[in-house]
A and B are shown apart, each in its own frame.
Chain A
Amino acid sequence: MSVPTRRRGVALVVGASAAVLLLAACGGSSTSDESTSAAPASSSADSGGETSAAPAAGCEAYAAYGTFEGASVTLFTSILPPEQQKFETAWAEFEECTGIDIVYEGSDQFEAQLPTRIAGGNAPDLAFIPQPGLLVKLVETGGPVAAPDSVTALVDQYWNPAWKAYGTVDGTFYAAPLGSNMKSFVWYSPKVFSEKGYTVPTTWDELFALSDQMVADGVKPWCGGIESGGATGWPATDWLEQIMLRMYGGDVYDQWVNHTLLFDSPEVTAAMDTLAGWMKNPEYVNAGFGDVKTIATTGFQQAGEPILKGECGMLQQASFYANFWAEFNPDAVVAEDGDAYAFYLPAMNDNVPTPVVGGGEFVTAFADRPEVVAAQTFLASPEFATAKVKEGTWVSANSGVPLDAYAPGSIDQLSAQYLTDPQGTFRFDASDLMPAAVGAGAMWKEMTAWFAEDKPTQQVLKDIDAAWPAE
């Protein structure tokens, strides 16, 4: 059982009668007040009137944070519902015991809005920043507050130093990592695989032997979509990053991120050629949507749908894609023997063991009021991470989270296993590390043109280099 069970309230089965409809809507879901007081699993049974009457019960664990009756902490993030509710549930006890109200605001325009608000003097207390590149930029222009000692101590204790480095700018540690995405996954349908007798590939060569096998069987092996509104192109940058890390390892990858290795170099050109043979191969793509060019116009959210219908063999996407299957088909089961599951995108050569490209958010503070520090510290703690993990479809690279907190056999558990693997070669999503003019500009744009307009590879790489900021 790895699908996050969605509460299917009465609301969904009601017919059209208006009276019934209103009644059902009233009964079928909870008000925001209720959802904040509904504590995670352990205490939900005895909630009711008592929790608010005796807040001390079960609050011992939060005593260290102190109490701040009536204080509130504003939080700004790009993470939208339904993930929002899971966060709110995970820190509900903290809110109740400390009296801090965490005011959640999510926006799909987060990256554009955050700098505007900081410059406008309207910064939130906390922000979940998904791009270390953006953090660097913000520190340059001013705004972020260095992490308090309590947070630094937790991060030193529980996180891989690489993660701490992504939250550090010019030697000062600002932002503790929060959630993590494991991006090196290939989604497939275990049902279809077992029907056709395919086996999950464990090497790069096997992966492409399998692709050819599918072509021979008359099925297009790969589907993909890189359309994402204002961020169109990002999944394509992920594909290139996967290949870069697999072909050359961490050091070359880091040089590439720092622009000491140019885009217009034999290394990146070779990686692009490999990608061309994979996602721009008309034999392989774009299953269920049309020709290669449709990759550019297919929403990344929709890209996996043909897998459930058996029209597409595989999709390279991150761990969070687990959330999307139920949207295509409410009955879809995400499990090793279900309708959809993921396998690890295999390594290319032995020199680079278990390459993993990942992403994540970093909790950045713009104020140092005691209640903000308390919230920030709690968000960096293994207790919060564990509570959030139990809400499902979320991964933390916090080593204080026991692996058995994840649903057994779930994508989350698989992700955590790779993300915390001490032997693995972990690198952060390169486009999120590069300056915004490249990582959120030229690279998205040029990769999109490469797919949609067949823009020549050399020209694509030259134009990305040209966009790199002068300083």
Chain B
Amino acid sequence: MIWENILEGIPKLGTAAAGIAVFFAILLVVFFVLGRIRGRLSNPVAMLAFLGPAAILLMLGLVVPTFQTVYKSLFNASGKKFIGLQNYGWILTTESNQQVLINTALWIVIAPLFSTVIGLVLALLLDRMRRESIPKSLIFMPMAISFVGASIIWGLVYAYRDPAQEQVGLLSQVVLWLGIEPPNWILLQPWNNFLLMVIMIWIQTGFAMVVLSAAIKAIPGDVVEAATLDGATGWRLFSRVTVPMIRTTLIVVVTTIMIATLKIFDIVRVMTNGNFGTQIVANEMYSQAFVQFDVGRGSALAVILFLGVIPLVSYNIIQLRRERAIR
């Protein structure tokens, strides 16, 4: 059966290979034909050919849906009746939704902050170790695990049983070994929010570590030399030289994790489904749009998410512009 399954699977890889081949063939032909064009037209043609595919895909895949979402957020559940800003009113005034907004804000701050700080500390410490690849690979490993997989893994950590019973959850068992009666972790408000964030931090720390480690390695040696000659050591060296030198990288890492955090809904969906005071905007949006079929409210929540990310993205853009002005 296993062999049959493997044999049946091989044509699928063939399909993928054919897809890739067709893709590159088209690309080659286009390049060959358009590359012949010389003179005044050559720059505009090249621009169209290079930007065209990305522009079309982004238009159809992201820009058009964005406008559709804003439009739909002004309509009622069935999408037939125009109700103005009522969906936004519902988001901002309902008590349970205020909790959702607060939780989301906590997520955006805490998960990226901890991932980046732990990642940075690890990047600094690991550079000094001889066998850095082993801890690095192990810490990076959660990045390779899907959210479905991660929730299964953490389910085995947070599982609760009556203290008198045999424990199945690791955290409860550890706490019991320490002589403390474990609480029902997932119900422990407001700390349960942090227990869920731990999963995101667990996943993202490897990403932060890997990227920051590369950035630290790329700091020019003469800069460090000059600083050391000036007597900078330890913390001073770190705060005056290392951090400023990798500042752009730090910002990109934090933003990338923040955006990922804003969009993530799988962890909450699988672990608590937003119950017990752990709801976040992305999961509420999924529930409204895909479980309760209220497209209006779902869209309004999505717009709130855009609005939440806009400051982040603007800050990044300002930083990038400044960076470029220097260069």
Contact A25 B290, beta carbon cutoff 8 Å: no
Q: A441 within 8 Å of B by Cβ?
A: yes
Contact A297 B160, beta carbon cutoff 8 Å: yes
Contact A288 B1, beta carbon cutoff 8 Å: no
- A291 contacts across to B, CB distance below 8 A: 162, 184
Shortest Cβ distance from residue B276 to the other chain A in the assembled complex, whole angstroms: 5
Complex-state Cα separation, A437 to B274, whole angstroms:
15
- B161 contacts across to A, CB distance below 8 A: 289-290
Complex-state Cα separation, A297 to B273, whole angstroms:
11
Complex-state Cα separation, A132 to B189, whole angstroms:
36
Interface residue ranges of B256-296 to A (CB < 8 Å): 269-270, 272-277, 286-287, 290-294
Interface residue ranges of A21-66 to B (CB < 8 Å): 22, 25-26, 28-29, 31
B292 is contacted by which of A22, A26, A141, A436 (Cβ under 8 Å)?
A: A436
Q: A297-B187, A453-B277, A469-B77 are in contact. Are A436 and B293 (CB under 8 A)?
A: yes
Shortest Cβ distance from residue B9 to the other chain A in the assembled complex, whole angstroms: 14
- A29 contacts across to B, CB distance below 8 A: 1
Contact B275 A440, beta carbon cutoff 8 Å: no
Interface residues of A toward B: which range?
35 or more
Chain B interface helix/strand/loop/mixed: loop
- A449 contacts across to B, CB distance below 8 A: 275-276
Complex-state Cα separation, A36 to B260, whole angstroms:
44
Complex-state Cα separation, A247 to B187, whole angstroms:
32
Shortest Cβ distance from residue B284 to the other chain A in the assembled complex, whole angstroms: 10
**B3, B96, B275: most-surrounded residue (chain A CB, <10 A):** B275
Contact B1 A28, beta carbon cutoff 8 Å: yes
Contact A112 B273, beta carbon cutoff 8 Å: no
Q: A259 within 8 Å of B by Cβ?
A: no
Closest to A449 in B: B275
- A453 contacts across to B, CB distance below 8 A: 187, 189, 276-277
Q: B4 within 8 Å of A by Cβ?
A: yes
Contact A293 B162, beta carbon cutoff 8 Å: no
- A137 contacts across to B, CB distance below 8 A: 293
Contact B162 A290, beta carbon cutoff 8 Å: yes
A232 is contacted by which of B77, B165, B275, B292 (Cβ under 8 Å)?
A: B275
Q: A448 within 8 Å of B by Cβ?
A: yes
- A470 contacts across to B, CB distance below 8 A: 76
Q: A115 within 8 Å of B by Cβ?
A: yes
- B276 contacts across to A, CB distance below 8 A: 296, 448-449, 452-453
Shortest Cβ distance from residue A277 to the other chain B in the assembled complex, whole angstroms: 22
- B275 contacts across to A, CB distance below 8 A: 232-233, 296, 445, 448-449, 452
Q: B2 within 8 Å of A by Cβ?
A: yes
- B272 contacts across to A, CB distance below 8 A: 232
Q: A150 within 8 Å of B by Cβ?
A: no
- A452 contacts across to B, CB distance below 8 A: 187, 275-276
Shortest Cβ distance from residue B122 to the other chain A in the assembled complex, whole angstroms: 33
Q: A116 within 8 Å of B by Cβ?
A: yes
Shortest Cβ distance from residue B128 to the other chain A in the assembled complex, whole angstroms: 41
Contact A26 B4, beta carbon cutoff 8 Å: yes
Contact A31 B4, beta carbon cutoff 8 Å: yes
Complex-state Cα separation, A314 to B288, whole angstroms:
35
B interface residues, how many (CB within 8 angstroms)? 32
Chain A interface helix/strand/loop/mixed: helix
Complex-state Cα separation, A453 to B77, whole angstroms:
29
Complex-state Cα separation, A440 to B288, whole angstroms:
10
Contact A294 B184, beta carbon cutoff 8 Å: yes
Closest to A30 in B: B1
- B76 contacts across to A, CB distance below 8 A: 470-471
Q: A408 within 8 Å of B by Cβ?
A: no
Q: A288-B165, A452-B187 are in contact. Are A229 and B270 (CB under 8 A)?
A: yes
Q: A230 within 8 Å of B by Cβ?
A: yes
Closest to A286 in B: B162
Q: A112-B291, A229-B270, A441-B291 are in contact. Are A22 and B165 (CB under 8 A)?
A: no
Q: A441-B292, A469-B77 are in contact. Are A25 and B162 (CB under 8 A)?
A: no
A297 is contacted by which of B78, B184, B292 (Cβ under 8 Å)?
A: B184
Contact A112 B1, beta carbon cutoff 8 Å: no
Q: A111 within 8 Å of B by Cβ?
A: yes
- B162 contacts across to A, CB distance below 8 A: 288-291, 294
Contact A26 B2, beta carbon cutoff 8 Å: yes
Q: B139 within 8 Å of A by Cβ?
A: no
Contact B293 A297, beta carbon cutoff 8 Å: no
Contact B291 A436, beta carbon cutoff 8 Å: yes
Q: A337 within 8 Å of B by Cβ?
A: no
- B189 contacts across to A, CB distance below 8 A: 453
Q: B123-139 vs A: 1/0 string, CB under 8 Å?
A: 00000000000000000
Q: B186 within 8 Å of A by Cβ?
A: yes
Q: A4-36 vs B: 1/0 string, CB under 8 Å?
A: 000000000000000000100110110100000
Q: A296-B276, A436-B291 are in contact. Are A22 and B2 (CB under 8 A)?
A: yes
- B163 contacts across to A, CB distance below 8 A: 290
B78 is contacted by which of A22, A112, A140 (Cβ under 8 Å)?
A: A140
Q: A96-140 vs B: 1/0 string, CB under 8 Å?
A: 000000000000000110011000000000000000000001001
Complex-state Cα separation, A111 to B289, whole angstroms:
11
- A296 contacts across to B, CB distance below 8 A: 187, 275-276
Contact A290 B77, beta carbon cutoff 8 Å: no
Contact A294 B287, beta carbon cutoff 8 Å: no
Interface residue ranges of A411-467 to B (CB < 8 Å): 436-437, 440-441, 445, 448-449, 452-453, 463
- B78 contacts across to A, CB distance below 8 A: 140-141
Closest to B8 in A: A31
- B290 contacts across to A, CB distance below 8 A: 112, 115-116
**A141, A290, A291: most-surrounded residue (chain B CB, <10 A):** A290
Closest to A437 in B: B292
- A22 contacts across to B, CB distance below 8 A: 2-3
Shortest Cβ distance from residue A122 to the other chain B in the assembled complex, whole angstroms: 15
Interface residue ranges of B165-219 to A (CB < 8 Å): 165, 184, 186-187, 189
- B187 contacts across to A, CB distance below 8 A: 293, 296-297, 452-453
- A140 contacts across to B, CB distance below 8 A: 78
Complex-state Cα separation, A440 to B289, whole angstroms:
12
Shortest Cβ distance from residue B5 to the other chain A in the assembled complex, whole angstroms: 9
B269 is contacted by which of A116, A230, A290 (Cβ under 8 Å)?
A: A230
Closest to B159 in A: A297
What are the 10 closest A-B residue pairs judged by CB atoms, nearest first?
A112-B290, A290-B162, A441-B292, A437-B292, A436-B292, A448-B275, A232-B273, A25-B1, A26-B1, A25-B2
A-B contact sample (13 more), CB < 8 A, given A31-B1, A232-B272, A290-B184: A25-B1, A26-B4, A115-B290, A137-B293, A233-B275, A288-B165, A290-B160, A290-B161, A291-B162, A293-B187, A294-B184, A436-B292, A445-B274
Interface residues, chain A, with chain B CB atoms under 8 Å away: 22, 25-26, 28-29, 31, 111-112, 115-116, 137, 140-141, 229-233, 288-291, 293-294, 296-297, 436-437, 440-441, 445, 448-449, 452-453, 463, 469-471
